[in-house]
Amino acid sequence: MTAYIFPGQGAQYTGMGKDLFDASEQAKKRFLQANDILGFNITKIMFEGTAEELKETKVTQPAIFLHSVILAEILGNRFKPDMVAGHSLGEFSALVANKTLAFEDALVLVSKRAQAMQKACESVPSTMAAVLGLEDHIVEAICADVDGIVVAANYNCPGQLVISGEIKAVEEACERLKEQGARRAILLPVGGAFHSPLMEPAREELAKAIKNTRFAPPICPVYQNVTTFAVTDPEKIKENLIFQLTSPVKWTQSVQNMVADGATKFIEVGPGNVLQGLVKKIHKDAVTEAAKFE
């Protein structure tokens, strides 16, 4: 069985999507449509912008979403998923690919999500840190013991976890994690504490928009970040998507469940190859590849 997987924030690069724009009329149409929906020229930033411009949350999230979704669309009949999953933002791309969400509706939600997250980031000084070389339960216990808000936010693969919260709490957790033998515990260059309780104002804002959006029955199950199991009920998908902003991204567990349900091949759709690397660390026998438009 084949699982199609979609990357999240951090996979962006200057020039992303230009090859698709030049090679396909269908892709070109979608990119130009996106400029109209968003109300700014995102294609110009994607194709020619600096790394700094691309790093802005309100640009990054729609940019990665567009690259992934347009690539999946122009694969045409070659796109045959038995199951899909996306890492954080990538879940929105996965939901367009499996026909739960319409392209236009999803792009509006992604844009609202990015702006709401940006706003939440600005209200409390917060950050995230990557922790390498410790078991999950040790990281969780230390976070629980630190004063202030700091939680496990991304379960990327065994031995690689991201924590998220108030700056002081994250810094203290990093010191304690190093004392416990973490190979690395380093702050990440992000705007705030994604997938933590500090995203609650963004979650509330996004919840309203999600509730007013049509979610259709999908063509295949999605393994969502919040629950990690196969979901096909549109109402359940909606609910999980709302809680995604304040809940951890359980990528390790999602991949393990996809493998348990028969996935042997994982195709990454979108910029970069980060997810292929994570899948290999989670399940060394999995076949991984990048989706290519020829």
Mean pLDDT, the chain, rounded, equals 93
Asked if the model's pLDDT at residue 100 lies above 80, the reply is yes
List C-alpha distances in Å: 87 to 101, 232, 249. Answer: 17, 18, 7
Percent of the chain whose predicted confidence (pLDDT) is above 70:
100
Q: Please state which of the ranges 52-61, 239-248, 264-273 shows the lowest mean pLDDT.
A: 52-61
Active site (catalytic) residues: 88, 195
Amino acid (one-letter) located at 81 = P
pTM of model > 0.85: yes
Asked if the model's pLDDT at residue 257 lies above 80, the reply is yes
Q: Is 52 exposed, middle or buried (0-12, 13-18, 19+ CB in 10 A)?
A: exposed
Domain ranges in the chain?
2-122+197-290, 125-187
107-137: pLDDT as tens digits: 999 999 999 988 888 888 899 999 999 999 9
- For residue 56, the model assigns a pLDDT of 80
Tell me the mean pLDDT in the region 142-148. Answer: 95
3-state secondary structure 256-290: HHHHHCCCCEEEECCCCCHHHHHHHHHCCCCEEEE
Pick the CATH number of 125-187 from 3.20.20.70, 3.30.70.250, 3.10.290.10, 3.40.50.300: 3.30.70.250
In three-state secondary structure terms, 183 is: coil
Q: What angle do CA 114, 72, 193 make, to 5 degrees?
A: 25
pLDDT range class, residue 190, cuts 50, 70, 90: confident
Percent of the chain whose predicted confidence (pLDDT) is above 90:
84
29-52: pLDDT as tens digits: 999 999 999 999 999 999 998 888
Taking domain 2-122+197-290, whether its CATH number is 3.40.366.10 is answered by yes
259-290: pLDDT as tens digits: 999 999 999 999 989 999 999 999 999 999 99
User: Exposed e or buried b for every residue in 53-73, given b needs 16+ CB within 10 A?
Assistant: ebbebbbbbbbbbbbbbbbbb
- For residue 118, the model assigns a pLDDT of 86
| CB contact at 8 A, 146 and 177 | no
Computed over its alpha carbons, how large is the radius of gyration of the chain? 18
